[in-house]
């Protein structure tokens, strides 16, 4: 699968229900996992290789928020929305942890497009984002509402 190479900016009217976009890959390593967790999720199974072995994960695992943050980075590189990629809300599931050495990539599908009634220049696009590991298993599933804008006249 090739990453999406379309160039932006993308306007509201450029998007269609069912559109599918694919990101490039991002490899997670243990140092990054520990550094993120020390700052934002300081729990032994995210910060300490030895302590993680005795945890329910059995080995060092990335914070779910790290998986979410890397997903955002891949999305920013993949979806060049006009005025930027601005999320209003998101529902996230973490069916499996991310581990050192995992190569994450993102598949993003447009589920729904709702033009705004009160603000005709914008709309809300609902997208499903799957963050997959190298063997295609989802590490994160996400349904997100993002803003999109029409091309200025």
With contacts defined by CB under 8 A, name the span among 13-21, 55-63, 108-116, 131-139 that binds a copy of itself.
55-63
The distance of closest approach from Cβ of residue 134 to a copy of itself in the complex, given in angstroms and rounded to an integer, is 21
Peptide bond into 9 cis (omega under 30): yes
Nearer to a copy of itself, 15 or 75 (CB): 75
The verdict on 90 binding a copy of itself (CB under 8 A) reads yes
- DSSP structure string for 106-146: EEEEEEEEEE-SS-TTEEEEEEEEEEE-TTS-EEEEEEEEE
Angle among Cα 80, 13, 111 to the nearest 5 degrees reads 80
Q: Which of 15, 28, 60, 68 binds a copy of itself (CB under 8 A)?
A: 68
Instruction: Summarize as ranges the residues that interact with a copy of itself (CB under 8 A).
Output: 39-45, 55-56, 63-65, 68-70, 72-73, 76, 83-94
């Amino acid at each position: 699968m090739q990453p999406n190479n379309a160039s932006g900016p993308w306007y509201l009217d450029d998007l269609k229900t069912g559109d599918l976009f694919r990101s490039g890959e991002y490899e997670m390593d243990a140092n990054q996992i520990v550094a993120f967790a020390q700052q934002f999720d300081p729990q032994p199974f995210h910060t300490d290789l030895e302590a993680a072995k005795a945890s329910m994960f059995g080995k060092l695992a990335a914070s779910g928020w790290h998986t979410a943050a890397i997903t955002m980075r891949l999305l920013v590189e993949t979806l060049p929305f006009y005025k930027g990629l601005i999320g209003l809300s998101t529902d996230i599931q973490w069916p499996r942890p991310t581990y050192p050495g995992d190569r994450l990539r993102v598949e993003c599908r447009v589920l729904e497009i709702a033009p705004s009634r009160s603000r005709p220049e914008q709309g809300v696009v609902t997208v499903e984002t799957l963050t997959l590991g190298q063997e295609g298993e989802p590490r994160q599933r996400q349904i997100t509402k993002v803003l999109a804008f029409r091309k200025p006249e």
